[in-house]
Amino acid sequence: MPISKNNENQIYNDIVNEDLCLFDIILRLDYNAIQRTLRDVADEDLIIALRNSDEEIQNKIFQTMSRPLATMLREDIKFMDPVSEEDIIKAQQKIFGVIIKLIKSGEIVVSGVGDKE
């Protein structure tokens, strides 16, 4: 069910007020929400966005995948050519955009964000 404009504004306010970055939001997603998000994210963007991310984030994302796919992505991250910080941020912003789109459509929920009535 799509969220109302008031709830949409509350989600944005919560994200800004709590100074949530992309990976803070991912930690608040359940595994089904992560899987749904990843369906709309290009593999290349995911690999770049995960570059230099902490192990907790990588593990949460990889736990939603098959073992062979997670292994392949880990190797891609490990052996990829150097990536600029700007490219990492752009890839993270793309994923953030997907998450916001899915929140707005009501397809996923971020626990603790936009829960207030």
Q: Which class in CATH covers the domain with range 5-105?
A: mainly alpha
CB atoms near residue 25 (< 10 Å): 22
Band of pLDDT at residue 3, cut at 50, 70 and 90: very low
User: What local confidence, expressed as pLDDT, does residue 117 receive?
Assistant: 43
Per residue in 86-113, pLDDT tens? 999 899 889 988 988 998 888 998 776 5
SS3 111: coil
The reported pLDDT for the residue numbered 2 is 47
| Measured distance CA(55)–CA(50) in Å, rounded | 9
pLDDT in tens, 66-89: 999 999 999 999 999 999 999 998
Two tokens, residue 103: 């929140």
Question: So what's the pLDDT on residue 109?
Answer: 83
Mean pLDDT of 18-22: 57
Rounded-to-integer distance, Cα 92 and Cα 97, Å: 9
Domain ranges of the chain: 5-105
> pTM for the whole thing?
0.77
The mean pLDDT value of the chain amounts to 82
Q: Rounded to an integer, what distance in angstroms lies between the CA atom of residue 99 and that of residue 97?
A: 5
What percentage of the chain carries pLDDT values higher than 90?
50
The Cα 81–Cα 78 span in angstroms is: 9
